Chains A and B, each alone.
Chain A
Amino acid sequence: MSRRMCGSAEAAEPRLRRRRSRFLARLLLAAVIPVLLAAFPSSSTASHIYKIGFIASITGPGASLGEPERDVARLLQDQLTSARGVVGPDRVRHAVEILIFDDQSRADTAASLARRLINEEKVVLLVAGTLSGPSLAMVPIATEGRTPMISMASARAIIEDPQTKRARPWIFKPVPENLHSAQKQAEYLKAIGATSVCHLYENTAYGQDTFASAGAIFPAAGITIVYGDAFDRTATEFPQVARVRASGCRAVVIGSIPPAASVINVAVRERAAQVRIVHGHGACSPDLIKTAGAAAERTVMPCGKILVADQLPAGDPVKTLNLKFISDFRRFTGGREISTFAGHAFDSLQWALIALRNLPDGLSLERQRDAAREALETKVKRWAGTHGFYTLSPEDHLGWKAEEFAFVTVQGGKFLILPRDQWK
């Protein structure tokens, strides 16, 4: 404002006019500043900016997940800039800067980025980790740096120490796990009376975890895995299907993500047409239908609600939030398809903002991080996110239950919600 005044004053040639306009400018400033101060009490007193460190796998094998996540971070930065930051409990406004970094899908890069963001960039908290590997690599660094970290990856070990089974105090994540998928699958299998099933999983960390989760959940529901086997992501022949046929199981549970999930789906359909196919939530992507075609029809799977947001009952806050997020995302990216991974980034960043909104002004960085951690545990209660409702607590840093999954089927090339009374 004042810079523009100076500019116009210099442009005026005669001395008198310059003096007069300088006087006018001072008068104007004198009048405007108190008005500004009255209107936005925070803008002049906000001494510093809150920084969020955002690390995603924008390149490398995780890029198809990390790229939309980066777009979400940019979108939210845009919205934060136009809303001029967040307002704290004492009505003090802080600008928010999201520092976006790429870990190249590598654990070592992720770890050094996290260290740099905590020690040098002085971020209040981290939203970090597209993949489980890099996330796990950052866990000890965030813990040691006493900085809250919200991961966008799925492994249980990110938020829970596998030895002590206790929540890691500094780490959170809004991402469903394979255990939740297995619970939902078990309910469905029980409902259709399939007590002996086969499990085929891709030979990756994700696939093996789906198998382990099924092994942990299914027996308690009275379901036996009569044949479980891995397949290679790039396989072209599937001798497994002969075993599926020979073992006579009524349903095949597939633990894989497209396109591998599509290829095995096609192979099972071709040679064991009567067998039901149940996917895990890794298959919840339009890619499944695009690459499996007709073979995907009538397959079922548990999915995050964002995939079928338009079919949720009217008035559901999850629906409202999702529809707005999806239209914002489309507008921002020029019409790109939404993915569940974009949803994870959205939820994670929203949690970060909730924490920042609960920080009183004038805390030291250490106290800010402490308070942000506490806010996450106490302020995220029945909060509507892209995948359903979340309630965080000191014991539960995911705060999400398998019931929040939508159970869907593929029909006419579309994902449709399959209500429980139609499970048969």
Chain B
Amino acid sequence: MRRVGSGGPHPPPEEAVRTATEQAIGVRQVSSPRRSLPAGQWLGGVLVLLVIGLVLWGRRHGFGLADYLQFLVDGLQAGAIYTLVALGFVVVHRVTGIINFAQGAFVMLGPMVTITIYGRGWPLPPAVRLLLAAGLAAGLTAVVGVAVYRLAVHPARGASLLTRIMITVGAYVALQGVALLLWGPRSYVLPAFSTLQMADRTFLVGDVLFKAQSLWIWVTAGVTLALLALFFERTILGKAMRACAADRLAARLVGVRVDTMATVAFGLAAVLGAVAGIVVGPLTRPAYDMGLEIGLKGFVAAVMGGLVSFQGAVAGALLLGVLETLWAGVTLAGFKDLFAFVVLILVLLVRPHGVAGGEEEVGGS
């Protein structure tokens, strides 16, 4: 509120929107390093102590090195999925300032559509059929993402940021409802990519179990990250989107169509969500309501990274995945979700611009 006041009685609309954004999500472009640096070190110290404490606590249960390595592998697998979901949040947030809570619905649509198309039994080799189904599902989810923006969010562009965020929550609920009508409440099976069967291939490295699907998840997350980097660094569209992210008003002044960029951002976020859902599909049993929790975890990861930085989102997601798995392993796993949301609150209180994302990330890299 103070910033709006200091901007004069009639701040330019873009400025007002940006300020509101920052206030809504707690991002403040803190300019004094003296305040934020100790906070960062403090939090880093806390994290290291937390890990040491959890590892020591785990000794009580008789965990050995193999068990901790297993937690690490499982945590990195969860982290890779959270990464893909978190990137979707970041893309939309950077370009539009909105936190798109419909992201979870995109995560659900990916595997559900894939399963439906795959199950149609087109006369193709199963591997080709699965790839085709996944591609079509990602494309279809992109269309849904664009539709969410054009039909629900864009018409309300005059409304406050909070209103538009609530619209995305509404879009999530609506999409989940449509999914319930289309697929019913039952869970479906997406075959593991390596075997094209329900059962996945597993192998032991030492005493640590790897699943073939985990490798698929890591490879997919890596390739997606590389493609995103290329897109934002090398293409005109990507650069225009970065311009919007850096300063929407300036971007508009130099002729970037901000609305078009926002549409692209929603489509891109939908694809990221769908891909996350498809690669995680074989590990769980996809159902119409799978999006809520995975979407919220992705959101926590994005917030840990400061909501604007891709590197931050990746680091936040991996950190969340590993810490969460370790925490669930040494305490009772029933408290697993508690951990994510305690982290969210801590991050918002202590370091609202993110654990991993430094100040230089804010406003574009």
| Distance of A295 Cα from B211 Cα, bound (Å) | 15
Check: A10 CB closer than 8 A to any chain B CB.
no
| Distance of A242 Cα from B325 Cα, bound (Å) | 11
B284 touches A235 (CB 8 A): yes
Give the contact stretch, choosing among B121-129, B243-251, B329-337, B352-360: B329-337
Chain A residues with CB below 8 A from B61, complex form: 242-243, 246-247
Report the interface size class on chain B: 35 or more
A293 contact from B74, B198, B280, Cβ within 8 A: B198
Q: Which A50-66 residues have C-beta < 8 A from chain B?
A: 60-64
B184 touches A237 (CB 8 A): no
Check: A271 CB closer than 8 A to any chain B CB.
yes
Once A234-B294, A237-B77 are accepted as A-B contacts, the answer to whether A242 and B285 lie under 8 Å apart by CB is: no
Check: A135 CB closer than 8 A to any chain B CB.
no
Give the contact stretch, choosing among A116-124, A137-145, A212-220, A225-233: A225-233
B199 touches A236 (CB 8 A): no
Check: B290 CB closer than 8 A to any chain A CB.
yes
Check: B293 CB closer than 8 A to any chain A CB.
yes
| Distance of A292 Cα from B62 Cα, bound (Å) | 29
Check: A337 CB closer than 8 A to any chain B CB.
no
B329 contact from A235, A239, A259, A291, Cβ within 8 A: A239
A270 contact from B209, B325, B328, Cβ within 8 A: B209
Chain A residues with CB below 8 A from B328, complex form: 237, 239-240
Check: B259 CB closer than 8 A to any chain A CB.
no
A234 touches B293 (CB 8 A): yes
Chain B minimum-CB-distance residue to A271 = B209
Chain A residues with CB below 8 A from B334, complex form: 203, 229-231
| Distance of A237 Cα from B211 Cα, bound (Å) | 11
Chain A residues with CB below 8 A from B333, complex form: 229-231, 238-240
Interface of A is mostly: helix
Once A232-B336, A239-B74 are accepted as A-B contacts, the answer to whether A290 and B329 lie under 8 Å apart by CB is: no
Once A242-B70, A242-B71 are accepted as A-B contacts, the answer to whether A236 and B329 lie under 8 Å apart by CB is: no
| Distance of A266 Cα from B213 Cα, bound (Å) | 14
CB distance from A378 to the nearest CB of B (A): 39
Chain A residues with CB below 8 A from B77, complex form: 236-237
Check: B29 CB closer than 8 A to any chain A CB.
no
Chain B residues with CB below 8 A from A263, complex form: 283-285
Give A241-276 as 1s and 0s: 1 = Cβ < 8 Å from B's Cβ atoms.
011011100000000001110110010001100000
Give the contact stretch, choosing among B154-162, B185-193, B342-350: B185-193
Check: B316 CB closer than 8 A to any chain A CB.
no
Check: B75 CB closer than 8 A to any chain A CB.
yes
B187 touches A259 (CB 8 A): yes
**Chain B CB within 10 Å — which of A246, A293, A294, A295 has the most?**
A246
A64 touches B185 (CB 8 A): yes
B62 contact from A230, A246, A270, Cβ within 8 A: A246
Report the interface size class on chain A: 35 or more
Check: B202 CB closer than 8 A to any chain A CB.
yes
B209 touches A239 (CB 8 A): no
Check: B235 CB closer than 8 A to any chain A CB.
no
B184 contact from A63, A260, A293, Cβ within 8 A: A63
Chain B residues with CB below 8 A from A239, complex form: 70-71, 74, 325-326, 328-329, 333
Q: Which A37-86 residues have C-beta < 8 A from chain B?
A: 60-64
Check: B81 CB closer than 8 A to any chain A CB.
yes
B74 touches A290 (CB 8 A): no
B63 touches A234 (CB 8 A): no
Chain A minimum-CB-distance residue to B71 = A239
| Distance of A266 Cα from B81 Cα, bound (Å) | 20
| Distance of A293 Cα from B195 Cα, bound (Å) | 13
| Distance of A262 Cα from B185 Cα, bound (Å) | 17
A259 touches B75 (CB 8 A): no
Once A229-B333, A237-B325 are accepted as A-B contacts, the answer to whether A291 and B71 lie under 8 Å apart by CB is: no
Chain B residues with CB below 8 A from A294, complex form: 199
B70 touches A259 (CB 8 A): no
CB distance from B358 to the nearest CB of A (A): 29
Chain B residues with CB below 8 A from A293, complex form: 197-199
Chain A minimum-CB-distance residue to B189 = A291
CB distance from B334 to the nearest CB of A (A): 3
| Distance of A60 Cα from B290 Cα, bound (Å) | 15
CB distance from A214 to the nearest CB of B (A): 15
CB distance from A318 to the nearest CB of B (A): 29
| Distance of A64 Cα from B333 Cα, bound (Å) | 28
Check: B22 CB closer than 8 A to any chain A CB.
no
**Chain B CB within 10 Å — which of A64, A247, A271 has the most?**
A271
Chain A minimum-CB-distance residue to B81 = A236
| Distance of A63 Cα from B198 Cα, bound (Å) | 25
A230 touches B332 (CB 8 A): yes
Q: Which B19-76 residues have C-beta < 8 A from chain A?
A: 61-63, 67, 70-71, 74-75
A259 touches B63 (CB 8 A): no
A262 touches B285 (CB 8 A): yes
CB distance from A416 to the nearest CB of B (A): 21
A237 contact from B75, B186, B189, B199, Cβ within 8 A: B75
Check: B78 CB closer than 8 A to any chain A CB.
yes
CB distance from A242 to the nearest CB of B (A): 4
Once A64-B185, A259-B285, A293-B198 are accepted as A-B contacts, the answer to whether A232 and B293 lie under 8 Å apart by CB is: yes
Chain B minimum-CB-distance residue to A259 = B285
Return the 5 tightest CB-CB contacts between A and B, nearest first. A230-B334, A239-B329, A259-B285, A237-B74, A259-B187
30 A-B residue pairs with CB within 8 Å = A61-B185, A64-B184, A230-B332, A231-B334, A232-B293, A232-B337, A234-B284, A234-B290, A234-B293, A234-B294, A236-B81, A237-B74, A237-B75, A237-B77, A237-B325, A239-B74, A239-B325, A240-B329, A243-B61, A243-B329, A246-B63, A262-B285, A270-B202, A271-B209, A287-B187, A291-B285, A293-B197, A293-B199, A294-B199, A295-B199
**Extra pairs beyond A236-B77, A259-B187 (17, CB < 8 Å):** A62-B185, A63-B185, A64-B184, A232-B293, A235-B336, A236-B280, A237-B78, A238-B74, A238-B333, A239-B71, A239-B328, A243-B329, A247-B62, A263-B285, A270-B209, A271-B209, A293-B198
Interface residues of A (CB under 8 A from B): 60-64, 203, 229-232, 234-240, 242-243, 245-247, 258-260, 262-263, 266, 270-271, 287, 290-295
Interface residues of B (CB under 8 A from A): 61-63, 67, 70-71, 74-75, 77-78, 81, 184-187, 189, 197-199, 202, 209, 211, 280, 283-285, 287, 289-290, 293-294, 325-326, 328-329, 332-334, 336-337
